[in-house]
Amino acid sequence: MAGTTSLDVRRSNPIGGFHLGLGLVYGLMACSLLTTSWVYWHGRNRFDAYVNVAPIRSSPVGHQRILTRVQDLAERWAGRVALVSGASSTALAAGLGLAWLWRQRRWDRQWQALTTQLDQTRLQLQHVTHEAQQLAHERRRLVEELCVINAQIEQRVAERTAALARAKTALEQELNERKQAEKMLAIQSKELARSKGVLELHVQARTQELQKLQRRYESILNSAGEGIYGLDLHGRMVFANPAAAKLTGWQVQEMLGKTEAELFRPTTVDGQPIQGEPPSELLFHRKDGSSVLVECVRRPLHENELLAGTVVIFKDITERKRTEQALAKKAAELARSNAELEQFAFMASHDLQEPLRKIQAFGDRLKSKLDAIQLTDGREYLERMQSAAARMQTLINDLLTFSRVISASRPFVPVDLGAVAKDVLSDLEVRIEQTKAVVEVGPLPTVDADPMQMRQLFQNLIGNALKFQPPGNRPVVQIRSQVLQETTLDGNVRELCEIQVQDNGIGFDEKYLDKIFAVFQRLHGRNEYEGTGVGLAVCRRITDRHGGTITARSKPGQGATFIVRLPMRQPGAAKAPEGSPSYQPVPQPMAA
What residue spans define the domains of the chain? 6-145, 227-316, 319-407, 409-567
Residue 6 has pLDDT above 60, yes or no: no
Q: Lowest mean pLDDT of 21-30, 156-165, 231-240, name the range.
A: 21-30
Distance CA 112, CA 93 (A): 28
The pLDDT tens digits for 435-476 are 899 999 999 999 999 888 899 899 889 988 998 888 888 999
Is the pTM above the cut of 0.95? no
Distance CA 282, CA 271 (A): 9
Report the CATH fold assignment for 227-316: Beta-Lactamase (3.30.450)
Provide the 3-class DSSP secondary structure of residue 283: strand
The pLDDT tens digits for 366-376 are 777 777 776 66
Matching CATH topology for 227-316 and 409-567?
Answer: no
How high does pLDDT run on average in the chain? Answer: 76
Please indicate whether residue 561 or residue 8 has the higher confidence score (pLDDT): 561
Distances, alpha carbon 478 to alpha carbons 51, 458, 499, 504, in Å: 154, 12, 10, 9
The pLDDT tens digits for 294-341 are 999 899 988 888 888 999 999 988 888 888 889 898 888 877 876 776
Dmax over CA atoms of the chain, in Å, equals: 235
Q: Lowest mean pLDDT of 113-122, 265-274, 554-563, name the range.
A: 113-122
Please give the single-letter amino acid code of residue 507: G
User: Among residues of the chain, what percentage have pLDDT more than 90?
Assistant: 14
At residue 335, the pLDDT reads 78
Q: 240 near 256, Cβ under 8 Å? A: yes
Please indicate whether residue 501 or residue 38 has the higher confidence score (pLDDT): 501
Given 3-state DSSP classes, what are the helix, strand and coil percentages for the chain, each rounded to the nearest 5? 55, 20, 25
Class of 319-407 in CATH: mainly alpha
The listed range with the strongest mean pLDDT (19-33, 57-71, 496-510, 512-526) is 496-510
How long a stretch of residues is the chain?
A: 592
Distance CA 13, CA 39 (A): 7
Distance CA 298, CA 280 (A): 8
Residue 110: count of CB within 10 angstroms of its CB: 15
Report the CATH fold assignment for 6-145: Beta-Lactamase (3.30.450)
User: Among residues of the chain, what percentage have pLDDT more than 70?
Assistant: 69
CATH of domain 409-567: 3.30.565.10
95 DSSP assignment: H
Please, what is the angle between helix 318-373 and helix 379-407, to 10°?
A: 150
> What confidence tier does 207 reach under pLDDT thresholds 50, 70, 90?
confident
Distances, alpha carbon 23 to alpha carbons 221, 298, 516, in Å: 135, 132, 166
DSSP string, 436-476: T-EEEE----EEEE-HHHHHHHHHHHHHHHHHS--TT---E
Provide the 3-class DSSP secondary structure of residue 12: coil
Q: Lowest mean pLDDT of 118-127, 406-415, 582-591, name the range.
A: 582-591
Q: What angle do CA 416, 418, 423 make, to 5 degrees?
A: 100
Q: 326 near 320, Cβ under 8 Å? A: no
